[in-house]
Amino acid sequence: MRSPAPLRVELKPSRLAASMIAIGVVASAFLVASLPGEWWLRAPMCLAIGAYGLWLVRSRAQGTTPTSVIAIELDADMRASFTERRGRRIAGLVKPDSYVSAMLTTLVIHAPGARRSRAIAILPDMLASDDFRRLRVLLRFGRTPQR
């Protein structure tokens, strides 16, 4: 039996991710602002939360930072590679820690020789619906490489 052709998808900016990040940042800043204590101690923490939220929107939701993932290629044998905005391509194996559902798919890839795995969150508005379905099917039913 032949394996299906590798699936290559390009990720688009996500309004859903940006809104979820914004909600989390506003809630966190509100929580810190409502803590007891001096205002001059809470204000820098709220500013830091806001700055981190802006970085998250740029890197995760909009994909405009150099290390943002813009394309993913996945084989049926659970080998994957992703391309960063700066052009760097990283290949590795998909870990069993990956998660697949209708609203959120996380792809965890471990490159050979790397210390840590890289997790990529994929939301439905980042891909065409057919590509998102094919990606989920490959992740659920792909087979691990034979050793």
145, burial (CB in 10 Å: exposed 0-12, middle 13-18, buried 19+) = exposed
In-domain check, residue 109: yes
Q: Both 135 and 111 in a single domain? A: yes
Q: For residue range 26-79, list pLDDT tens digits in order.
A: 999 999 999 999 999 999 999 999 999 999 999 999 999 999 999 999 998 889
Please give the C-alpha separations between residue 116 and each of 44, 71, 108, in angstroms, as whole numbers.
Answer: 31, 20, 10
In-domain check, residue 146: no
pLDDT of residue 5: 81
Q: Both 49 and 74 in a single domain? A: no
Please give the C-alpha separations between residue 41 and each of 26, 72, 138, in angstroms, as whole numbers.
Answer: 18, 43, 49
pLDDT of 147 higher than 50: no
| φ/ψ (deg, to 5) at 106 | -115, 135
Q: How many domains does the chain have?
A: 2
What is the arithmetic mean of pLDDT over 117-136?
93
In-domain check, residue 75: yes
In-domain check, residue 36: yes
Q: Both 120 and 77 in a single domain? A: yes
Range of the domain at 36: 15-61
How far, in Å, CA of 109 to CA of 90, rounded? 9
Q: For residue range 9-19, list pLDDT tens digits in order.
A: 999 999 999 99
pLDDT class of 1 with cuts at 50, 70, 90 = low
Q: Both 84 and 129 in a single domain? A: yes
Token digits of residue 32:
């810190």
pLDDT class of 141 with cuts at 50, 70, 90 = confident
In-domain check, residue 1: no
Lowest mean pLDDT among 122-126, 128-132, 143-147: 143-147
In-domain check, residue 97: yes
